Structure 1
Amino acid sequence: MGTGGTIAGTSAVAGANTGYTAAQIGVEGLIAAVPALAEVAAGGLVAKQIAQVDSKDMSHEIWLKLARHCEKHLADPDVQGIVITHGTDTLEETAWFLQQVLDPRKPVVLCSAMRPATALAPDGPQNLLDSVIVASEPTASGVLCVAAGEIHGAREVTKVHPLRLNAFSSGDAGPLGWVEGRSVRWVRNSAPERPVASSARLVQTLPEPDLWPQVEIVMSHAGVSGALVRALAAQGVDGIVVAATGNGTLHKTLEQALEAVEQEGVLVRVASRCVEGLVHGEPDARWASANGLSPVKARICLMLDLIDDDLAAEDDDSVVGD
């Protein structure tokens, strides 16, 4: 499935690695550029263009459309796995959203590139070949990211560099495995356990994106005023994820602002600015921690939790009405 991104990008300057326009080549064109794909995909390949965007502009509408298509094909017994071409900028967010709403038993592999297709040495073709190899691997499952020969899980993967080819990292957890030649080598020589979504939510239960709750991210930093928190509450935001310092600590001014908007019904969750490690909060902490998720992934979980709450409330209302 194609969604655009740098892997589908082109530049007017021959061989340029930067200054390109993303999302110019369709997914069928990307497949045609890698003849070896036909050899590694034993059951054949079916191409579908879902969107054509620079992933910095990824939207909830595309997420839902992508999830619905994934769900349909994952239910097909003839489908062994799915590969999604995607830009690198928001790949980790799309990966975590899909993991949460699909909880797939088959592999769903997000494939990307740091250089456009017209670069002197593009990385997209090799990443696409590696992604199909992983999607064809019988022991693979869950939402994965494959880039620069590394296999990362949806929970841990984060883009950590703006230019280098191995731009993704899983922090102190490390990658799940590697693609070596046309084989997959898992860490400790065995496939990792399939990650489990935080709830039993299903794609079919998700409302249209214009009904999704608004959840925003704010950062705790030196000199923070709390004005952004108050402005978001005034706009009717439903939830706020705070990118806290260190072990979940917050500037006192920001904390006061969050306490005030919480009284107005805004749900607050605390993540950390640190890219590695896990916040060990106090047992009596006022707000729930993000359980090791990055702020952008914590935002997705809070948004989905609020959707679950809305659906549960609707069910309760229907029972009362009956």
Structure 2
Amino acid sequence: MNNRLKSVISAAAIAVGLCFAPVQAADLPHVVILATGGTIAGTGATSTTTVGYTAAKLGVDKMIESVPELQKVAEVRGEQVAQIASESMTNEVWLKLAKRINQLLAQKDVDGIVVTHGTDTIEETAYFLDLVVKSKKPVVVVGSMRPSTAISADGPINLYNAVILAGSKEAVGKGVLVALNDQINAAREVTKSNTSTADTFRTPELGFLGYMQDNKAHFYRMSTRKNTADTEFDVSKLSSLPRVDIVYGYANMDRVAMDADIGAGAQGIVQAGVGDGSVAAQMMPAFRDARQKGVIVVRSSRVGNGIVARNGEANDDKEDFVVSDTLNAQKARILLMLALTKTHDTQAIQRMFYTY
């Protein structure tokens, strides 16, 4: 065999070896997991305990260790931002979390973020981050419906999929995502729809953005509303958020709760009204009094689907109210809090509700 032929064979062998070489760590995306607690970090008394367990028991390092497959799909490290059940989530934790995410995503060696979270308020945290994260890099919020000790615990596979999603090019520019049960949802649109089943997270009417299958993200649509780097909100210098409270609509309601909220310093009130955000006749004086005091009133709906029509069930132009569009009351509260850091002008705030 001549030297020329040996060189050709050697080059071919090297090329084949490269094609079948295992993925090196340098080729993997760098994903940071920020843990806040929740059921995904919870433990139960037995393997069949799926209610009555204790949330937020495991630390982030323990969660990462429990899913060794993560090391095959990303360079992963974790930080513990909070250790709480998500019903105890606060504005202060939101601000801390958002600031840390923005710090991390500004680094060249961070490709995406996963936030582990309890499911009760996961949609609220995700939407808050959707409005204040200043990067197009993926941010994925994930949780579980069963504690880590349960038979068929869903936390490990949810976390595994979330890391893949956060490190994927497909998720770039899609806004903050909520990913559980192999399903990908937009932060603005998703809501918890069942108290206990694993398929609880749904986007009513509009549908999922896509699915996780075969270790890949498959997207079929995008949310059309502005998010993350395209919003006007900046929390970098904020140490608190304006107080905004929710008043729930029901038959025979009165103004006691609303007056108490305003007396406690609420700068905004979101009504989770009946039907199309209807205002009861006996409540209209309370809403007018609120506006005279400078309190912003947003009409939302307790129904859970559909658009709250401006000048539909109330003369919003005359009363100087804002409508929530398709945002449910808990998400309307978040947008109103952030809006109030910018302005108290109702026309400007209404524009924000139609933009985000």
TM-score where L is the length of structure 2: 0.82
* Aligned with 1:200 (options 232, 244, 250): 232
* Contact preservation (8 Å) 1:103, 1:195: no
Aligned twin of 1:271: 300
- Secondary structure of 1:173 counterpart: coil
- Find the partner of 1:73 among 87, 104, 114: 104
**1:247 aligned to 2:284?**
no
Residues 1-322 of structure 1: pairs in structure 2 closer than 5 A: 1-41=34-74, 44-140=75-171, 141=173, 142-187=175-220, 195-196=226-227, 199-205=231-237, 207-209=238-240, 212-282=241-311, 284-285=315-316, 286=319, 287-309=321-343
Identity %: 39
Contact 1:23 1:52 in 2 (8 A): yes
Query: Contact conserved, 1:105 with 1:194, CA < 8 A, in 2?
Result: no
Give 1:317's aligned residue: none
Inter-partner Cα distance in structure 2 for 1:161 and 1:25: 25
For residues 195 and 148 of structure 2, the distance between their equivalents in structure 1, rounded to whole angstroms, comes to: 17
Shift, 1:136, TM fit: 1.4
Give the counterpart letter for 1:213 in structure 2. P
Aligned letter for 2:37? G
Q: Which amino acid aligns with 1:301?
A: L
Contact 2:186 / 2:223 at 8 angstroms: preserved in 1? no
- Aligned residue for 1:185, secondary structure, equals strand
Distance 1:194 1:308, change over 3 A: closer
TM-score, normalisation: structure 1: 0.90
* Equivalent-residue separation in structure 1 for 2:48 and 2:276 (angstroms): 44
- 3-state SS, counterpart of residue 184 of structure 1: strand
CA deviation map 1:143-166 (0-9, x unaligned): 100000000001001111110001
Aligned partners of 1:63, 1:269: CA distance in 2, in Å?
Answer: 22
Aligned partners of 1:249 and 1:203: how far apart in 2? 33
Cα distance in 2 for partners of 1:222, 1:101 equals 36
Instruction: Quote the offset at 1:291 in angstroms.
Output: 1.9
**What CA distance in whole angstroms lies between the structure 2 residues aligned with 1:282 and 1:309?**
22
Who wins on radius of gyration, i.e. which is larger?
2
Aligned 8 A contact 1:114 1:163 in 2? yes
Please give the alpha-carbon distance, in whole angstroms, between the structure 2 residues aligned to 1:60 and 1:118: 30
Q: CA deviation at 1:103?
A: 4.5
